[in-house]
Structure 1
Amino acid sequence: MTSTGAESADAVVIGAGHNGLVAANLLADAGWDVVVLEATAVAGGAVRSAEVTAPGYLSDLYSSFYPLGYASPVLNGLGLERHGLRWRHSPDVLAHLLPDGRAAVLNRDPEATAASLEAFAPGDGKRWLHAYDDWRQVAEPMLGAITRPFPPVRDGVTLLRRLRVGGALRLARRLVVPVRKLGDELFEGAGGPALLAGCALHTDLSPEEAGSGVYGWLLAMLGQQVGWPVPDGGAQKITDALVDRLTERGGRILYGARVDRVLTARGRAMGVRTSGGALWRARRAVLADVPAPALYLDLVGAAALPPRLVEDLAHFKWDGSTLKVDWALSAPVPWTNRAVAPAGTVHLGADVDGLTTYSAELARGELPRKPFLLVGQMTVADPSHSPPGTESLWSYTHLPFRRNWRAEDMAAHVERMEQVLEEAAPGFRSLIVGRHVAGPADLEDGNPSLVGGALGGGTAAAYQQLFLRPIPGLGRADTPVDRLFLASASAHPGGGVHGAPGANAARAALARDRAVTGGLYAATIGAAHRAVYR
């Protein structure tokens, strides 16, 4: 205790989601005394596992397959394998099952993927291999640019040197082209566009929206390059490794410690207060792994912020709500098209045109009549998820964003989801021995950062990315409150389990604290914020 009755630490991190844990680890590596205050009873946020369907069946409660996590320079730099993290791959990475029964299959062997796409149109196999060659040329600096603070100067220079002006301009175009347009440009048949569009629909973007192409291209090409692996023993193993690494370095995590106020004085974050009345003084920084509206409006308060920032937050857009169902099955899914069976992830229920219809229904605030499903065959990817000869299966689908849903609407939509699966795999329902339904409210209850069941910390639309994320500004972790840093998916580069927002916040806190440059840093950031928010 200090003389004022408040406990203290060099850094107080709000939230023990994976981004908060990444930030805490990096600060601990720098020798800082770090405490993480977590509102719930467990660490991990949306990276957790438990048995919720039936005994012996393990389910990943939120996120599951991790191409970005596996490839992330941030997570790789932490050496989590030394803390028990091991990766597993399904035989096939991804299968997109089209309404006509054909399937486009992505395998880590490029020739196998090419053969699948060649069956849709002559030449599409070679077109896929050419697209993959283009990706390999830019993959390393692209991932660096994604996971480092904006603007990514070093990686941008590397890309320019490799691609020269013409190639860089073509890459810039690819970053904004809609995924329908990209699929049409790259392929002749339906298989390649379906793979790209299905990957893009992991976000809240439609196939016609600007920027949807880069998400489809990124996830598909990462699948080709590194696969979509899962942690051996469930998503929880990522969290366990981060927690183990942090505590080994002296970091502390307090559970059931819900922060209800960031304490400020003279425009500077001084510490936090929890809902139980405990005070924590932050000697160097406060980092917040919470959504941007919660940080600014709830924890800091409008009175301590520039009025223009508060006005901009009124236009902050969440990504869509989510409905997730886990099933314990007594046998593997009885797919009619057996090419789907070895895939860890299955996209199901629509071709590109169907995805456009589905997205339009969501945009109108309607529950889609035939939902597009993202399906995870967890036992296929990691046999430890369920007993031999069975399957631990999950599926989620997007909903229009709402905080409140009627139970009968969710039950009806679960019925629609199961009908889509039954049509593709007759007899599916007869195999169900356990079911766990997590609607938007359930997801938020388990992880308060998943507001309304929104998984991405805010829309992936181009108008809320880069220097526009979470609102028009610097696109950095710094905030208008000195020594306060945004470390959640609401910050650049957004959602996904890659640790970049947490790492960026830690880097910003360290830069701010350096004795030689601290004054200049604070003055520069302060001047930039005044220019934006005055």
Structure 2
Amino acid sequence: METADAVVVGAGPNGLVAANLLADAGWEVLVLEAAATPGGAARSAELAAPGFLTELGSAFHPLGVASPVLRRLDLAAEGLRWRHAPAVLGHGFADGRAVVQYRDPATTAESVGRFAAADADRWLAAYQRWRSISPRLLDALFTPFPPVRAGGSLLRQVGAGDALRLTRQLLLSARRLGEELFDGEGARALLAGCALHTDLTLSEPGGGGYGWLLAMLGQEYGFPVPAGGAQRLTAALTGRLRSRGGRLLCGVSVDRIAVAGGRALGVRSATGEWWRARRAVVADVPAPVLYADLVGWEKLPARLRADLAGFQWDQPTLKIDWALTAPVPWRAPELSAAGVVHLGGGLDDLSRYAASLARGEPPATPFLVAGQLTTADPARSPAGTESFWCYTHLPRAAARGSSAGGSSAAGSSAAGELVREQLARVEALLEQQAPGFGRLVAGRQVSGPAELARQNPSLVGGALGGGTAALYQQLVLRPVPGLGRSDTPIDRLYLASSSAHPGPGVHGGPGANAARAALARSRPGVGALYGAGVRAAHRTLYPR
């Protein structure tokens, strides 16, 4: 049996961030990954056709560039480079018009101003406000909850009154925030489309905060891609880890975390091998998988088991990759410059789409998040072609037949039919927005919820976010009512996945929080007090 200071389960971005920070502290770190290659949702492959590089998961990374966690790791020293499309984000309307966000705020303002003249200045004012608070706000978002130091710094900067106004803005629905900030449909659509990257409807509280955050990140940092694919981001993280003595073993599926006396002692693989953890076990897996499969229900307090029964996954996903023989022939030519394109119509259309999903119905007109990967990074496909990618959300019934929704033949058949129906709607929408699109297709890969879960078991039921973005499962409520931290009721076991605060995205926040907690627990002199305080809090939250 091998021994390490920390055993990290899962080599997704969060697991690799946690491993790097622990290695920086001088710990002996071992990372175990079930897949043949590391990276989780940050992996690249030629799926649609040879020579057309696409992503298995996350494609565009505004949070990766903005993240204070990743910036401190200095991944540029490991060869990571970012590439930008000429424009950040475009939103196409059914009538052939488009609004486009550019890295230059004034050019974005000109585009939104075509829909309502006053919105040009309003966009610049919204961005100026964002820039005044973004460093402290991002620090607050990517630290354990409550963000005492970063939150206090932000409060001192803006004052109590503006802090309350900011809180209100973050809690608004996407539709309401757009109506308060802008007059025209262009700027409102940019916000709404960004909000629909989550599983929230346009009328749900909190959606406006997500939309505003992503839109403003795009204005400040763009929607860049790693040069050569997301696997280059993973390669930078793994290279950095190895340079500090960390080890990574792929093809090792962990099926049990050893717990004795209320403490995590190590892990066992599916083939019966054991690894002992002297100081910590860090799990970059979804919360239900950690507790139900790796720890085991019998080792959990009854109250925690009951809370986990209410855990809500985000919606299943349909992802399609195309190899195109030429760039997309958009009706709105300005969309050709955008790395990311949103399609699905205006705000009323987007509201109907989200409402259909909330009712469990397949939307008649899907909302698409599409990516022109070659436009952003010319190395992704041969010259004059396009590696094109998109995803849309599906009703929760589509998770049937995947690892989240059971595997009955009837469930799989119905889910497969739903995927085929929505695929037809997706391609019809693309043909409407880009006449002749179908004639350019040289190859296509369709990944429904079941396929996504097979490619990456952490995408349970095709859910990309590790749990819903709804307010009832955020901060101290993520993944269940608790501390809003990575500590678990098992001493020296830490949750490092997107199921933990601050949630999904390739930014490393959950991994960094898990590493901080592990280091605090092991710090000479105060570690025992830290551990005793966490255990006392968990006994209050989850009485046996």
Find the aligned partners of 2:351 and 2:472 in 1 and give their Cα distance.
Answer: 20
2:400 aligned residue (394, 398, 403): 403
Could you say which residue in structure 2 is the equivalent of 1:272? 267
Find the aligned partners of 2:147 and 2:514 in 1 and give their Cα distance.
Answer: 15
In the TM superposition, what is the alpha-carbon distance from 1:294 to its structure 2 partner?
0.5
Find the aligned partners of 2:110 and 2:390 in 1 and give their Cα distance.
Answer: 27
Could you say which residue in structure 1 is the equivalent of 2:191? 196
1:494 aligned residue (489, 493, 503): 503
In the TM superposition, what is the alpha-carbon distance from 1:104 to its structure 2 partner?
1.1
In the TM superposition, what is the alpha-carbon distance from 1:67 to its structure 2 partner?
0.3
In the TM superposition, what is the alpha-carbon distance from 1:350 to its structure 2 partner?
2.3
1:380 aligned residue (375, 384, 405): 375
Amino acid aligned to 1:354: D
Could you say which residue in structure 1 is the equivalent of 2:75? 80
**Residue 440 (str. 1) matches residue 435 (str. 2):** no
What are the equivalent positions in structure 2 for 1:266-415 lying under 5 Å apart? 266-401=261-396, 402-404=399-401, 405-406=412-413, 407-415=416-424
Amino acid aligned to 1:421: L
In the TM superposition, what is the alpha-carbon distance from 1:372 to its structure 2 partner?
0.7
SS class of match (1:341): helix
Q: Mark the runs of 5 or more structure 2 residues left unpaired by the alignment.
A: 402-411
Q: Is the 8 A contact 1:93 1:106 kept in 2?
A: yes
Amino acid aligned to 2:62: P
**Residue 505 (str. 1) matches residue 514 (str. 2):** yes
**Residue 416 (str. 1) matches residue 425 (str. 2):** yes
In the TM superposition, what is the alpha-carbon distance from 1:126 to its structure 2 partner?
0.2
In the TM superposition, what is the alpha-carbon distance from 1:100 to its structure 2 partner?
2.1
Could you say which residue in structure 2 is the equivalent of 1:167? 162
**Residue 178 (str. 1) matches residue 173 (str. 2):** yes
Could you say which residue in structure 1 is the equivalent of 2:152? 157
Find the aligned partners of 2:454 and 2:476 in 1 and give their Cα distance.
Answer: 31
Amino acid aligned to 1:495: P
Find the aligned partners of 1:259 and 1:222 in 2 and give their Cα distance.
Answer: 36
Find the aligned partners of 2:419 and 2:201 in 1 and give their Cα distance.
Answer: 22
Find the aligned partners of 1:302 and 1:412 in 2 and give their Cα distance.
Answer: 38
SS class of match (1:384): helix
2:108 aligned residue (106, 113, 121): 113
Number of matched pairs: 529
In the TM superposition, what is the alpha-carbon distance from 1:400 to its structure 2 partner?
1.9
Amino acid aligned to 2:422: H
Find the aligned partners of 1:165 and 1:471 in 2 and give their Cα distance.
Answer: 29
Q: Is the 8 A contact 1:403 1:451 kept in 2?
A: no
Find the aligned partners of 2:328 and 2:157 in 1 and give their Cα distance.
Answer: 45
Find the aligned partners of 1:122 and 1:139 in 2 and give their Cα distance.
Answer: 26
**Residue 97 (str. 1) matches residue 106 (str. 2):** no
In the TM superposition, what is the alpha-carbon distance from 1:61 to its structure 2 partner?
1.6
SS class of match (2:468): coil
In the TM superposition, what is the alpha-carbon distance from 1:411 to its structure 2 partner?
2.0
Could you say which residue in structure 1 is the equivalent of 2:474? 465
Find the aligned partners of 1:273 and 1:485 in 2 and give their Cα distance.
Answer: 17
SS class of match (1:457): coil
In the TM superposition, what is the alpha-carbon distance from 1:278 to its structure 2 partner?
0.4
Amino acid aligned to 1:52: L
SS class of match (1:414): helix
Q: Mark the runs of 5 or more structure 1 residues left unpaired by the alignment.
A: 1-5
Find the aligned partners of 2:163 and 2:371 in 1 and give their Cα distance.
Answer: 36
**Residue 253 (str. 1) matches residue 248 (str. 2):** yes
* Deviates further, 140-149 or 405-414: 405-414
Structure 1 consecutive aligned stretches of length 4 or more whose deviation exceeds 4 Å = none
Residues 167-221 of structure 1: CA deviation (Å, up to 9, x unaligned): 0110010111101000000011101110000000000011101100111000100
Find the aligned partners of 1:451 and 1:400 in 2 and give their Cα distance.
Answer: 14
Amino acid aligned to 1:443: L
Find the aligned partners of 1:124 and 1:409 in 2 and give their Cα distance.
Answer: 40
In the TM superposition, what is the alpha-carbon distance from 1:409 to its structure 2 partner?
2.5
In the TM superposition, what is the alpha-carbon distance from 1:344 to its structure 2 partner?
0.3
* Superposition CA RMSD, Å: 0.8
Find the aligned partners of 1:59 and 1:392 in 2 and give their Cα distance.
Answer: 7
Residues 209-248 of structure 1: CA deviation (Å, up to 9, x unaligned): 1100111000100111111111111111100111111111
Find the aligned partners of 2:216 and 2:512 in 1 and give their Cα distance.
Answer: 24
Could you say which residue in structure 1 is the equivalent of 2:5? 10
Could you say which residue in structure 2 is the equivalent of 1:3? none
Could you say which residue in structure 1 is the equivalent of 2:404? none
Find the aligned partners of 1:441 and 1:247 in 2 and give their Cα distance.
Answer: 33
Amino acid aligned to 2:283: A
Amino acid aligned to 2:497: S
Find the aligned partners of 1:100 and 1:138 in 2 and give their Cα distance.
Answer: 37
1:527 aligned residue (524, 528, 536): 536
Normalised TM-score (structure 1): 0.98
